[in-house]
A and B are shown apart, each in its own frame.
Chain A
Amino acid sequence: MSIEQGLVSLIQSGIGSLAPGGYAATVPETNQVTAANPKAWTYRTIISMPTYVLEGEDLLTELELQIDCHGYTMDDAILLAKAIKSALRAAAPTGGNALVLSDPDNTVVQGIFRRAPHLDGYSDANRTYVRTLEYLVTYYDQQ
């Protein structure tokens, strides 16, 4: 029912069983990053910028998305970030073709672009690492 649902499915199908993820904003306790469960990813929306034309707001929307790749070690975080980057690079529409996501709205995506932020961090509460990626997604917002 949303761009988020479609993007989560897209990434999760791209990385396969490498890590559970697609959680909104936070890793739940049921999938806490531990030695036995060393990777997980979450997303959060940063910016959603509609396009305006003479007739008003257009459906074409720019969405900036933050993806946090959590790892029990920094190696885990780096490997997960690489897998997600690879998945989105492979899925990004090229050559004027659009990408239709698998969410119930079949959201149409015109472009997926990785943005500059590429931040590493450490959780002092869980003694785990994180690599943060940002993406710009242009899509048609079905409201």
Chain B
Amino acid sequence: MERLNIGINPGRLRHTITLLEPQTTVGVSGVETTFAPGSPPVTALAEIKYVRGVDVIKSGQVVSQTYLSVTIRYNPAFAAGKRIQKWDGEQFIIQAVENVREMNAYMVLTCLGLGLNN
């Protein structure tokens, strides 16, 4: 019988990230969505791995896109459509969430960064 090992070496979770929640406000352009930390802010210790980076030339812009894999302890507050912010202010869009083995132990966030691989 296979022995499940869902543990993680906590030493790998060496970076602090902050969850940015979507907020709807009314501005010059009407209703707009901005992203900001909740109250109180939700943070997590994370392992951040860069997966790949590409240049996309589209819509009159040269755009650099960076894909990240971010591992954190399980917290359902981290969900697709929200964003995370690193300690240095860089923001990443959470595109997908993997609840590893559906064990509610830890999760892997697939994230997209824009303009950050220079």
Q: How far is the CA of A75 from the CA of B116 in the complex (A)?
A: 22
Check: B39 CB closer than 8 A to any chain A CB. no
Q: Within residues 91 to 143 of chain A, which ones have a CB less than 8 A from any CB in chain B?
A: 121, 123-130
Q: Mark A27-70, 1 if CB is under 8 A from B, else 0.
A: 11110111111000010000000000000000000000000101
Interface size on A, residues (CB 8 A): 30
Cross-chain contact A126 with B29 (CB below 8 angstroms): no
Q: Sort chain B's interface into a size bin.
A: 20 to 34
Once A32-B64, A34-B115 are accepted as A-B contacts, the answer to whether A124 and B27 lie under 8 Å apart by CB is: no
Check: A79 CB closer than 8 A to any chain B CB. yes
Cross-chain contact B27 with A29 (CB below 8 angstroms): no
Cross-chain contact A30 with B118 (CB below 8 angstroms): yes
B108 CB to closest chain A CB, in angstroms?
Answer: 22
Check: A78 CB closer than 8 A to any chain B CB. yes
Closest 7 CB pairs of A and B: A74-B29, A123-B59, A32-B115, A34-B115, A125-B58, A29-B62, A75-B28
Tell me the B residues contacting A by CB distance below 8 Å.
27-30, 32, 34, 55-65, 89, 91, 93, 114-116, 118
